[in-house]
A and B are shown apart, each in its own frame.
Chain A
Amino acid sequence: MATERVLTRNVGRPEALTVRGYREGGGYDALAKALRMQPEEVIEEVKRSGLRGRGGAGFPCGAKWSFVPRQSPKPKYIVCNADESEPGTFKDRLLMEHDPHQLIEGCIIAGWAVGANTTYIYIRGEYTKAAAILEAAVRDAYDSGVLGTNVLGSGFRHDMVVHRGAGAYICGEETGMLESLEGKRGQPRVKPPFPALVGAFGCPTVINNVETLCCATHILLRGADWFKSIGTDERNTGPKLYAISGHVERPGTYEYPIGVPFQTLLDGCGGMYRGRELKAFIPGGASAPMMKASDRAIKMDFDTLAKAGSMLGSAAVIVMDDTTCMVRATLRLARFFAHESCGQCTPCREGTNWMKILLQRIHSGQGSEADLDLLAQVVPNVGGISLCALGDAAQGPVKSLVEKFSDEIRENLRAGRYPLPAPRYFDQGAAA
């Protein structure tokens, strides 16, 4: 499938790191165009494009922008979610390291659309390189009149601050992020009120993922109709980044029209590592229920994956071959969620821990089929009545393990095969 590179067109084009080089490639034309439109028209264009959030939940972007009150006695804010901590996800880092101005442009467009004069880019603390590149780009943008009191000579004021996190997955959840931005522990808030009304510092706020804001730039430049012409249907539109890792020949970030079949993704990155057999794949980051090899034809878009009981999430695709112990893989994710639960809600705090303990027991060889049954009972109680979606997210991989790989686990348990030896990845000789 020959695909035009839209979001990644400046990858491998280092000139784009400066305002001047970025403009030579047509950069900031979208912003200039947006500033000539009425804010309502900008929102309408994004709405019509069908753009859905690329951070995980797939919420319609234009609708989110329209929830911000037009008239507000308080300042309004754009918060760009660059926390990217969902295991398997690395697409936003690519966008920030190779094309920071594409993101800056999207943020200012969002600011103009909702009437916000400040953007905070909340970037995960470990991304020191991306943060330095963004900071340099923001300085350059101020010096070039792209940011500041008179954006591109329009009279619109927009300021931008790169704000570094400090290592906590939960700060990727939007209200956890707001708490963290305000200088507190990143514990999610009770909703409502939603951030569009009461967000950062008690003010109306739009929170969008890096890739979502980058998409907005192209929608403004090329129009909603162009964006809608790409993808599966009018609910799944536009170009999409897929971050592929695990047992494939060439892991990396790949751009395709949203809804590309999994098999095409796999072929595009050189197929399975060392020509092994596909066993399972995670379509959308650690939170997304696993799929089996027999699902390889599935279209990788929001609605198709939801219908199949999984989700597109952050479009982080983790591929596992037939040497993979599914219990070991799932245990690693369960450990992650137990570590990252912020502890405010009992089902999430206790449930993530229980899933970890039961998987550990099975994995270590001390478990029985009764543990697997208990695990199946625990899973549905981990999410639901809680403040944020981390509990639901934690259920995803374990639920799919129990539903799709029970036979394999029972057989291993009956045969007393656990603990399965961890496969050596490197040659024994080289590792010694």
Chain B
Amino acid sequence: MISGRAAASQALPESAIEEILALRPKYPTLEALTLPALHIAQRASGGWLPEAAIEAVAHLLELPVARVAGVVSFYDMYHVRPVGRHRIRVCTNLSCQLRGSGEILETIGQELGVEEGRVTSDGRCSYVQFECLGSCDTAPMIMVDDDYHENLTPERVRQIVRELK
């Protein structure tokens, strides 16, 4: 554990390591900390998981690196490539599609001038289409970082994108 921790501190700030280890009493196994630990590590690493961060989590949780990497690849919310400072998820599932998500997606593409999944050259934003975000009554909607933006129109979404620093 000590050596795992020492190895982890190469890649993760001490505060993130503390936050992860503080979860231990909540679960009967160390492995159960994998998802929360990856959330914490990703937040501490600029919104994505560099290899070193994945290795750090594996060391902390005494798991093979391949095992943790396998978990990372399974879930849509973990990223293994750099993302923009702001991450936009555009829901394009059916309820949003019926209420104009296609035009929202188009507008964001025009505003940012990059393809889906790419980061703007100033590192400010990236955007992806996403599955239903459970806010279909306020369609069309997008998620920017941790926040939902609902009942959108092309004008409104243009304004939101422009206000992202």
Residues of A that sit less than 8 Å from B by CB? 75, 84-90, 92-93, 124-129, 159, 161, 163-169, 180-186, 201, 243-247, 251-253, 282, 286, 316, 318, 320, 324, 328-329, 332-333, 336, 339-340, 422, 424-426, 430-431
Contacts and interface: CB of A to CB of B under 8 A. Distances in A.
Given A425-B103, A426-B153, A166 B39 contact: yes
A88 B136 contact: yes
Contacts of A166: 35, 38-39, 75-78
A5 B153 CA distance: 32
Contact of A124 (B78, B92, B106, B134): B134
Contacts of B52: none
A15 B90 CA distance: 33
A183 B78 contact: no
Interface stretch (B2-10, B12-20, B23-31, B117-125): B23-31
Given A180-B35, A246-B94, 10 more contacts: A87-B136, A88-B136, A125-B39, A164-B39, A166-B78, A182-B32, A186-B74, A201-B29, A318-B95, A320-B98
A251 to B, nearest CB: 4
Contacts of A85: 131-132, 134
Contacts of A84: 134
Interface in B89-110: 89, 92-95, 97-100, 102-103, 106-107
Interface string B126-160: 00000111111111100100111000011100000
A85 B140 CA distance: 17
B131 A430 contact: no
Given A85-B132, A124-B134, A166-B75, A332 B92 contact: yes
Contacts of B143: 126
Contacts of B135: 90, 93
11 contacts: A87-B93, A128-B146, A159-B26, A168-B75, A183-B33, A184-B34, A201-B28, A286-B132, A422-B102, A431-B106, A431-B154
A149 to B, nearest CB: 14
Residue in A75, A129, A182, A329 with the greatest tally of chain B CB atoms within 10 Å: A182
A128 B136 CA distance: 16
A247 B98 contact: yes
A253 B137 contact: yes
Contact of B94 (A169, A183, A329, A340): A329
B28 A183 contact: no
B50 to A, nearest CB: 17
A55 B88 CA distance: 29
B46 interface: no
Nearest to A161: B26
B67 to A, nearest CB: 8
B98 A324 contact: yes
A251 B94 contact: no
Given A161-B27, A182-B29, A430-B155, A333 B94 contact: yes
Contacts of A159: 26
A422 B139 CA distance: 17
Contacts of A184: 31, 34, 71
Contacts of B107: 431
B105 to A, nearest CB: 11
A183 B75 CA distance: 12
A282 B75 CA distance: 27
A128 B29 CA distance: 24
Nearest to B94: A332
B70 to A, nearest CB: 6
Nearest to B32: A183
Contacts of A183: 29, 31-35, 61, 71
Nearest to B155: A430
Contacts of B77: 125-126, 166-167
B134 A332 contact: no
Given A75-B28, A183-B35, A251-B139, A93 B103 contact: no
